[in-house]
Amino acid sequence: MLDVILNDEKYNRCIEDIGELLQKTVRGFQMFEKEQIRIHGFTHSQCYILLEILKHGSLTINEISVKMKLEASTITRIMDNLVRDHLLMRQRSTFDKRIVEAILTEQGHAAAIRLEASIKMYYRNVIKNLPRGHVREIMSAVEALLGALEKAKIE
């Protein structure tokens, strides 16, 4: 009986510990966003859209919506601001004229390159501050955590 109580206490403590670590992680990413993205004048969503289009050349609203796990209407509003600010253009797909793709303007491309460089520098500094020889181990643990977070949403 004492064994069961001790196991329950350990399990409950583990729940508290993981919750606290996740909250600290979220706060860390909020600081990352403030320091590495907002200084360029973008929201996290705008940054992600610019970087994804930089990576792929062009994307449809639906493709961005799936990648960001946001409604297409939300993506449209974000993209409207990027178009207004001359960072994105909308163009008809060469394969299917019914599909509209977003592409970076020259100004948008330059902004995305600056964002990408700033973010890479930040991640380089993160890696530099990890215990030597443990980068792969930490990456594996983060991947496992992300998988658990995805599964927890479903259950």
Determine, yes or no, domain membership for 7. Answer: no
Number of domains within the chain: 1
Q: How far apart are CA 93 and CA 59, in angstroms?
A: 10
Reported as a single tens digit per residue, the pLDDT across 115-154 is 999 999 988 998 999 999 999 999 999 899 889 888 887 6
Residue 6 located in a structural domain: no
Instruction: Give me the CATH number covering residue 88.
Output: 1.10.10.10
Does residue 6 carry a pLDDT above 70?
no
**pTM here?**
0.78
In this structure, is residue 8 part of a structural domain? no
Q: Answer yes or no: is 66 within a domain.
A: yes
Comparing 36 with 57, which gets the higher pLDDT?
57
Q: Is residue 33 part of a domain?
A: no
Residue 57: DSSP 8-state: S
User: What is the total residue count of the chain?
Assistant: 155
In a domain, 16, yes or no: no
Q: Is the distance from CB of 50 to CB of 44 less than 8 angstroms?
A: no
Cα 93 to the chain's mean position, in Å? 26
For residue 51, pLDDT over 50 is answered with: yes
Which residues form the domain of 140?
A: 42-154
- Is there a domain that residue 17 lies in? no
In a domain, 89, yes or no: yes
Q: Tell me the average pLDDT across 79-105.
A: 91
Three-class secondary structure of residue 2 per DSSP: helix
Q: What is the rounded distance in angstroms from the CA atom of residue 127 to the CA atom of residue 122?
A: 9
Residues near 106 by beta carbon (within 8 Å), at least 6 away in sequence? none
